[in-house]
Amino acid sequence: MTTGFLPINRHEMNVLGWDRPDFVYVTGDAYVDHPSFGVSIISRVLEDAGFRVAILSQPDYKSCDAFREFGKPRLGFLVTAGNIDSMVAHYTAAKKKRTYDYYSPGGKAGRRPDRATIVYCNRIREAYGDIPLIIGGLEASLRRFAHYDYWSDSVRRSILVDSRADLLTYGMGEKILLRIAQLLDKGVPVRKIRDVRGTVYLCHPQDKLHYDVAAEFDYNLLKHDKRAYAEAFGIQYKNQDSVNGRAIVECYDDKLLVQNPPMPPLEREELDHVYSLPYMRTYHPSYEKEGGVPAIEEVRFSITHNRGCFGACNFCALAFHQGRTVRSRSEASVLAEAKKITELPDFKGYIHDVGGPTANFRYPACQEQLERGVCASRKCLAPTPCKNLRVDHSEYLHLISEIEKLPRVKKVFIRSGIRFDYLLLDKKEDFFRKLVKDHVSGQLKVAPEHCSSPVLRCMGKPDFSVYEQFRKRYFELTKEAGKEQYLVPYLMSSHPGSTLQDALELALCLKRDRYAPEQVQDYYPTPGTASTVMFYTGMNPLDMKKVYVATDYHEKQLQRALLQYNRPQNASLVREALVRLHREDLIGYGPECLVRPERAESLIKKKGQTDLRPSSPSKKGKAVKRAAVTTGATGTAAHKKSNRPASRGSSKKGKR
């Protein structure tokens, strides 16, 4: 009896009547057959084309025995670390081991190795020698060039070199892997596959290349010369467009690493087909005894309606992975998926999200992108919107309204990122009004990230005044709708460009707005982002200007403490920061002060009190609540502490 899932062991393969699979797909995640997981999409696309794919999920990597589970596949191995980089999955921004893994059964950590792609490939080579080996997914995609690695504090070689794989696929891989599979099926040797867009390969210096080359770099220079490294990233970033991107070459002693230009994104009809495939929409039943796979909870009743993001924040890897060109599914396709969700046995009437990297994008930023590609020298929205930007929420609004009409649907929420600066540009306000009235589940999460103009420029974000304008209008519309709803602003400490003075500016802004964040994201330098290059080199790779970087761990602690100045455990750090900044005037009991004097803190601890001054807790609570409605503060319950990896380049969505 078959389960409807692809086989995860030899017994399930035998039940299907296969003698062997065409591909064995090795992944560092548990097997979840849902279109928010890259392994599921690629395997279903290959299955739809007639290929047999077996899933080897979280194999025991300490020997090569587990990699022989299905025998030798007919065409080769596909390898991915999973939905996020394995190092991000394992370590916090402070490089401390995580104790929970959302992509493993029961949330149990330690089911995959550090640098999983490399480890898996080495085991496959040990088991089968010279067999076609193709790597992909977020870890491979963002580490395809020489890259700064935060965990080793060094510039590592391309992951293709270290893994000894034959091909690397980057970006969204449906068309790429289908083309590779067809060529392998025709008998083309894997080392002869050199012209497929969206791939990276190794060759000899004298070999003929298939595409024009934008630039050539030498790893031996990049690993030592920070300016050369920053310049190289800038050129790579500007060539990640399928219309105008050219090939990039890196030299590794006697080998050339060649990145072919990007594969064009899937168009609407192609996306519709991908999302119509027979996903089981949950984890493999074998994980039930361990409590299931936590990652499914966030997406089980959610729909991805688009791909790509022209917001292009510098700390986000989406520009380097999915790309800056937006494509979306048809209304019919999204409605068909919504109907499937309503038929799930545990559906309670709530669609949790209709989103993507940025929920309110449906089309490319402008008509020119379709003809000439994305602009290499400027962003669409920041620091100011491009004059060619096309702003239209009408189709998205209609789509949401149609989902609401489906039987059994009580409510449709929008929980993935709303780009508030883009929303403000829509003068009709039809979508803004409906968002506030019908699609906010008590609180709307948005990402101003900071309030300091220099920091926001380094982030590639709009000026804080834009957020203030959005916040003001949000609460006006909330009041008009007769609701009590809140904003939860994502905030980031110690991003490149942020000084201690900038952190203080944000702290004072938070105090003014009576907002006490329970969670602040400490900047995390992950591969494939412009911000990571700034962190390592002290230069912005997009304009080569110098950038201040807080690399000292203690200074990073001070910046974060300022953003959470109200926490008793941060008091000594806040005082130290204020003394450094010669702002002792903010230490005291006045309404403008951030922290009490040290002696007062000692007395409080001794007496077991929370405040030396008399106050009325009930009145204070009401005042904070009023501030939440009128100014955008949300109170301290808005954020819940989480041990989840704060990765910005998930192939699912660009969430924290």
* 641 contact partners, CB below 8 Å, separation of at least 6: 518, 519
DSSP 8-state class, residue 595 = B
pLDDT, one tens digit per residue, over 178-225 is 999 999 999 999 999 999 999 999 999 999 999 999 999 999 999 999
| Domain shared by 469 and 586, yes or no | yes
| Domain shared by 474 and 531, yes or no | yes
pLDDT at 608: 53
pTM here? 0.90
* 599 contact partners, CB below 8 Å, separation of at least 6: none
- 272 domain-assigned: no
**Burial track 560-569 (b if 16+ CB lie within 10 A, e otherwise):** bbbbbbbbee
| Domain shared by 361 and 506, yes or no | no
Question: What band does 376 get if pLDDT is binned at 50, 70 and 90?
Answer: confident
- 559 domain-assigned: yes
Q: Which has more confidence, 415 or 649?
A: 415
pLDDT, one tens digit per residue, over 130-177 is 999 999 999 999 999 999 999 999 999 999 999 999 999 999 999 999
The mean pLDDT of the chain is 91
Domain final residue pick, 422, 441, 460: 441
- 288 domain-assigned: no
Domain final residue pick, 408, 441, 474: 441
Q: Is the pLDDT of residue 104 over 80?
A: yes
Q: Is the pLDDT of residue 269 over 80?
A: yes
Find the domain containing 538 and state its range. 447-656
Distance set, CA 30 to CA 99, 282, 294, 372 (Å): 17, 11, 10, 40
Q: Contact at 8 Å (CB) between 274 and 174?
A: yes
pLDDT at 604: 52
pLDDT at 439: 96
- 289 domain-assigned: no
- 240 domain-assigned: no
pLDDT, one tens digit per residue, over 224-240 is 999 999 999 999 999 99
Alpha carbon distance 522, 560 (integer Å) = 7
Q: Is the pLDDT of residue 565 over 50?
A: yes
The phi and psi torsions of 351 (rounded to 5 degrees) equal -85, 115
| Domain shared by 373 and 479, yes or no | no
- 237 domain-assigned: no
pLDDT at 377: 84
DSSP string, 13-65: HHHTT-SS-SEEEEESS--EESTTSHHHHHHHHHHHTT--EEEEES--TTSSG
Region for residue 518 given its phi and psi (left: phi exceeds 0; alpha: psi -120 to 50; beta: otherwise): alpha
Distance set, CA 652 to CA 58, 83, 105, 308 (Å): 19, 7, 19, 11
Alpha carbon distance 631, 626 (integer Å) = 8
| Domain shared by 473 and 379, yes or no | no
Q: Is the pLDDT of residue 619 over 50?
A: no
Q: Contact at 8 Å (CB) between 649 and 316?
A: yes
pLDDT, one tens digit per residue, over 48-103 is 999 999 999 999 999 999 999 999 999 999 999 999 999 999 999 999 999 999 99
Region for residue 460 given its phi and psi (left: phi exceeds 0; alpha: psi -120 to 50; beta: otherwise): left
* Six-digit token string for 412: 């449709």
pLDDT at 416: 84
pLDDT at 571: 96
Q: What is the average pLDDT across 530-544?
A: 97
- 341 domain-assigned: yes
Which amino acid is residue 612, in one-letter code?
A: L
Distance set, CA 574 to CA 452, 517, 529 (Å): 19, 15, 30
| Domain shared by 479 and 417, yes or no | no
Strand 23-27, strand 255-259: pairing: unpaired
Q: What is the CATH number of the domain that holds 576?
A: 3.30.750.200
| Domain shared by 548 and 510, yes or no | yes
Q: How many domains does the chain have?
A: 3
Question: What band does 387 get if pLDDT is binned at 50, 70 and 90?
Answer: very high
Alpha carbon distance 172, 421 (integer Å) = 27
Q: Is the pLDDT of residue 620 over 80?
A: no
pLDDT, one tens digit per residue, over 603-618 is 555 555 444 333 333 3
Closest CA to 328 of 354, 351, 347, 302: 354
Q: What is the CATH number of the domain that holds 110?
A: 3.40.50.280
pLDDT at 599: 74
Q: What is the average pLDDT across 299-319?
A: 94
